[in-house]
Chain A
Amino acid sequence: MLEMTLDKSKVQEFLRLLGENRRLFAPVKDRMGTKFSEVADPSLVCLDGLNTNLSPKEVVFPQWETLYTFKEDHANEVKLAAQETLLFGARPCDARALGLLDQVFTWEGIDDPYYLRRREKTCVVALACNTPGEACFCTSVGGSPVGEIGADVLAFDLGEQLYLRALTERGEALLKEASTLTEKATEEDKQAVQQAAAEAEKQLQAIPIPKDLAALKESFDAEIWEELGLKCLGCGTCAYVCPTCHCFDITDETKKGVGRRVRNWDSCAFSLFTLHGSGHNPRTTQAARYRQRVLHKFLYCPENFGEAFCVGCGRCITNCPAGLDLRAVLERLSSLAKVT
């Protein structure tokens, strides 16, 4: 296991070097906070912010992408190449979310070539959280502020320097490429990392997660959904900011017979999501749609993939205009489950 340290004054140089033959995505400041963007100038990278408003899932699963182009009745494939990419500074919850998306996009032997071309070329350097945010609950859903899943390198902010631990061969190769800028981590560094990890985990409060799937199934007809459905505006923000939400639409954009078929993020919160051409709609109420979001993540995904599709990043909580707090919902569902 390769463990290195990088003086913080050299972070820009480090990124510039690795960015020479890669696309670099990292958090940068914008009006609203921080946001993952493709960066040409590493001096703009900002590692102080905690969770960006939008998750970095768009690096591998863009909000909008062309599936193929066409002219009249002839479809033309687009070249499915992708450039080597470095995703730098994703938090451990976001890195773990990529691992969950991998499962959907390779599910039952059906590979999604658009997702995989980017994912396979993406090296993830995750940055552990020394001070988790107010809405974070990663440890309650099986994650950790210093978790390694989905990452190739795990970094720790040790004040004056970054500690970098290679987790995969790809991560090791990356660190070796920049070895002129780094130094071998000392015993002292490693101890500091251990201490930071212990302290970070201590700061997170455990919230109850409904784990009894049979009981959760029973909640389908519970009154709680009616009440939550009245609050939910159906705006879809929660799905757009969520690192694990992956529903998409496929639409055509065309002008005079020339165009492209594209896929866009979608959300089960929208009333049109399940509307049939005949006018029939299996989910007519916002209650049913809000329930779909929660049960898909905490019941259907555990049934299909063995784990919940929530990494506890808290984005849907801080960004919901109606103030719906997933933690409170999960707590209520847990107590429902206990009663029934």
Chain B
Amino acid sequence: MNQTTNPYMPYPVRIDRITSENEARDLKTFKVVFLDPEHTKAFHHIPGQFAELSLLGKGESPIGIASSPTEEGHLLFTVKKTGVVTGELHNLTEGKVIGVRGPLGKSYPIDRMKGKNVVIVGGGFAFTTLRALTKYMIDDGNRDDFGEITVIYGARSPGELLYKEELKEWEARDDLKTYITVDKGDGNWKGREGFVPTVLEEVAPSSKDALIAVCGPPIMIKFTLPVIKKLGFAPSDTILSLEMRMKCGIGKCGRCNIGSKYVCKDGPVFTLEELDVLPNEY
């Protein structure tokens, strides 16, 4: 039996590569490959979805899928060392076998984004599924499906930016506008300084025929939403991704319930319009 009949069973995967992402060394990206090729075929995710990473004996943690389905043959997860499961994950070495249960949850509304301009706003290590989304849209086979793509991404310091090499590649491309910013630079930083909401206001992407997707720490979201509103994005075109403590990931265990929604199955991606009618309990 596998996940198609038992949604609680994880697929075994091997950690193929571990990349340390930041100076504090509490953020690592894990590239994993399925042990069974059948599972590779069975796992179809869309950017925005997440999976439960499973460490037998420790537990499971819901983690956003940082890779795009266009990057075939493997999955990426960027994990911050936080507690029991993520702490143990950080202790593991390449070659170790862990479990992946998913894909879970609702994705970014890719179909609605097609034919539109897309603005991506990310802060800190919450950039993971936005990376998946960007990567998906700029893939050769998909790029023409989308209008202008603008990426605004910021972190506290240069060392805290995720996917540094890739960001450079994106900046060099002419089919997407990339704005990278840090709250405060260091001696070597030649790029932009400033908070994400401020940069968004300066860049001022048009809200006409556009959707905007935002992920970041709560404080960034708080100051970014008014800017988004000012730019004229409708709540139904403003997309956010929520975090809530989870266990089952399939709408049974009740843990991620907010109002009549379950973040695991109705989210984690929601429009601002949907969030506006939910109780403020997240």
Main secondary structure of the interface of A (DSSP, over half): mixed
Smallest CB separation, A98 vs chain B (Å): 16
A112 within 8 A of B: yes
A299 within 8 A of B: yes
Residue with the highest number of chain B CB atoms closer than 10 Å, among A68, A70, A250, A257: A250
Assess whether A273 is in contact with B99, with CB atoms less than 8 Å apart.
no
Residue with the highest number of chain A CB atoms closer than 10 Å, among B6, B254, B265, B279: B254
B253 partner residues in chain A, CB cutoff 8 A: 247-250, 263, 266
In the complex, which residues 285-303 of chain A have their Cβ closer than 8 Å to any Cβ of chain B?
288, 292, 296, 299-300, 303
Assess whether B254 is in contact with A247, with CB atoms less than 8 Å apart.
yes
In the complex, which residues 223-282 of chain B have their Cβ closer than 8 Å to any Cβ of chain A?
243-245, 247-248, 250-255, 257-260, 265, 279, 281-282
Which of chain A's residues has its CB closest to B281's CB?
A: A282
B56 partner residues in chain A, CB cutoff 8 A: 70, 72-75, 252, 254, 259, 261
A252 partner residues in chain B, CB cutoff 8 A: 56-59
Assess whether B248 is in contact with A250, with CB atoms less than 8 Å apart.
yes
Docked CA distance A289–B143 (Å): 46
Cross-chain contact of B257 among A72, A257, A300 (Cβ < 8 A): A300
| Contact A300/B255 with A249-B247, A250-B247 known, Cβ cut-off 8 Å | no
Type the 1/0 row for A222-251, where 1 means its CB is closer than 8 Å to any CB of B: 000000000000000000000000111111
Assess whether B243 is in contact with A254, with CB atoms less than 8 Å apart.
no
B21 within 8 A of A: no
Docked CA distance A331–B211 (Å): 45
In the complex, which residues 100-143 of chain B have their Cβ closer than 8 Å to any Cβ of chain A?
none
Assess whether B252 is in contact with A276, with CB atoms less than 8 Å apart.
no
| Contact A273/B282 with A77-B9, A252-B57 known, Cβ cut-off 8 Å | no
B222 within 8 A of A: no
In the complex, which residues 74-102 of chain B have their Cβ closer than 8 Å to any Cβ of chain A?
82-83, 86, 96-99
Docked CA distance A334–B224 (Å): 39
Docked CA distance A70–B56 (Å): 7
A247 partner residues in chain B, CB cutoff 8 A: 253-255
Smallest CB separation, B245 vs chain A (Å): 5
Main secondary structure of the interface of B (DSSP, over half): loop
Type the 1/0 row for B48-80, where 1 means its CB is closer than 8 Å to any CB of A: 000000101111110000000000000000000
Binds B, one of A52-60, A100-108, A165-173, A322-330: A100-108
Residue with the highest number of chain B CB atoms closer than 10 Å, among A75, A108, A263: A75
A268 within 8 A of B: yes
Assess whether B245 is in contact with A276, with CB atoms less than 8 Å apart.
yes
Smallest CB separation, B24 vs chain A (Å): 15
Cross-chain contact of A73 among B12, B83, B255 (Cβ < 8 A): B12
Assess whether A77 is in contact with B6, with CB atoms less than 8 Å apart.
yes
Docked CA distance A104–B253 (Å): 9
Which of chain B's residues has its CB closest to A104's CB?
A: B252
B189 partner residues in chain A, CB cutoff 8 A: none
| Contact A75/B248 with A247-B253, A259-B56, A276-B243 known, Cβ cut-off 8 Å | no
| Contact A110/B7 with A250-B248, A277-B82 known, Cβ cut-off 8 Å | yes
Assess whether B259 is in contact with A248, with CB atoms less than 8 Å apart.
no
Cross-chain contact of B9 among A68, A104, A107, A259 (Cβ < 8 A): A68
Smallest CB separation, B270 vs chain A (Å): 15
Which of chain B's residues has its CB closest to A69's CB?
A: B56
Docked CA distance A293–B244 (Å): 17
B1 within 8 A of A: yes
Q: How large is the interface on A (under 10, 10 to 19, 20 to 34, 35 or more residues)?
A: 35 or more
B5 partner residues in chain A, CB cutoff 8 A: 113
Docked CA distance A300–B97 (Å): 40
Assess whether B57 is in contact with A254, with CB atoms less than 8 Å apart.
yes
Which of chain B's residues has its CB closest to A71's CB?
A: B56
A268 partner residues in chain B, CB cutoff 8 A: 254, 257
Assess whether B255 is in contact with A259, with CB atoms less than 8 Å apart.
no
Cross-chain contact of B260 among A263, A278, A304 (Cβ < 8 A): A304
Docked CA distance A218–B105 (Å): 28
Type the 1/0 row for A86-108, where 1 means its CB is closer than 8 Å to any CB of B: 00000000000000000011011
Assess whether B257 is in contact with A282, with CB atoms less than 8 Å apart.
no
Assess whether A73 is in contact with B98, with CB atoms less than 8 Å apart.
yes
Assess whether A107 is in contact with B252, with CB atoms less than 8 Å apart.
yes
Which of chain B's residues has its CB closest to A305's CB?
A: B260
Smallest CB separation, B79 vs chain A (Å): 11
Docked CA distance A75–B7 (Å): 14
Smallest CB separation, B126 vs chain A (Å): 12
A315 within 8 A of B: no
Cross-chain contact of B12 among A75, A105, A249 (Cβ < 8 A): A75
B282 partner residues in chain A, CB cutoff 8 A: 282
Which of chain B's residues has its CB closest to A283's CB?
A: B281
A64 within 8 A of B: no
Docked CA distance A68–B8 (Å): 9
| Contact A105/B252 with A73-B98, A75-B99, A113-B6 known, Cβ cut-off 8 Å | yes
A275 within 8 A of B: yes
B154 within 8 A of A: no
Which of chain B's residues has its CB closest to A255's CB?
A: B57
A220-B279, A249-B247, A252-B58 given; name 12 further pairs at CB < 8 Å.
A70-B56, A72-B56, A75-B54, A77-B6, A105-B252, A110-B251, A249-B253, A250-B60, A257-B57, A268-B257, A283-B281, A303-B260
Q: Lowest 4 CB-CB distances: which A-B pairs, in order?
A: A247-B254, A277-B82, A303-B260, A277-B83
